Amino acid sequence: MDTQTLSRRRFLTATVFAAAAPGLAAAATADPYANSPLRKLTDADWKKKLPAAAYEVLRHEDTERPGTSALLNEHRKGTFVCMGCDLPLFKSEWKFESGTGWPSFYTAIPGALAKKTDLKIGVPRTEYHCAQCLGHQGHVFNDGPKPTGLRYCNNGVATKFIPA
Ligand SMILES: [Zn+2]
């Protein structure tokens, strides 16, 4: 390989890397709601803003008692939005009867939820929360129906239903 070919190869490698790197960096750190004023609210602010039961679930990962949510029997067409910030999370057509006593969905609106591993009960579970205000919504399991096989087990009190 002559010197000219070698330097051209180096140039191409460098160009490809430079083109790919910004995209990777953006994907790793992208948080479209990072500057939301909701992120600046204190725990006391949230306590004032929310009904007591919603506050305990959204801000302290409490779990509502199964079978207590009025939304279990909500069968109209519409959207379930975050009780903390009104971000749309689930569409009514994705809701299914899981028999668990919590409103359940097989998928969520893209980008609406963020996830983390939760070890609170000793076995790892996937916790999910509102991508905008970071309010806890529920846990997602792999025993849901088709087409996703997922079961988003949601605290009804953490959402509001907006009829279409
Ligand atoms: Zn929210």
Q: What is the mean pLDDT of each run of 10 residues along the chain (164 residues)?
A: 52 46 54 95 98 98 97 97 98 98 98 95 96 98 98 98 98
The pLDDT of residue 90 is 98
By the CB criterion, residues less than 5 angstroms from ion ligand 1 are 82, 84-85, 87, 130, 132-133, 135
The pLDDT of residue 4 is 55
The pLDDT of residue 30 is 81
Query: Is the pTM above the cut of 0.85?
Result: no
What separation in Å is there between the alpha carbon of 87 and the centre of ligand 1? 6
Mapped to the 3 state alphabet, what secondary structure does the chain carry?
Answer: CCHHHHHHHHHHHHHHHHHHHHHHHHHHHCCCCCCCHHHHCCHHHHHHHCCHHHHHHHHHCCCCCCCCCHHHHCCCCEEEEECCCCCEEEEHHHEECCCCCCCEECCCCCCCEEEEEECCCCCCEEEEEECCCCCEEEEEECCCCCCCCCEEEECHHHEEEEEC
What separation in Å is there between the alpha carbon of 29 and the centre of ligand 1? 19
What separation in Å is there between the alpha carbon of 58 and the centre of ligand 1? 8
What separation in Å is there between the alpha carbon of 105 and the centre of ligand 1? 17
What separation in Å is there between the alpha carbon of 119 and the centre of ligand 1? 23
Catalytic machinery residues = 153
The pLDDT of residue 123 is 92
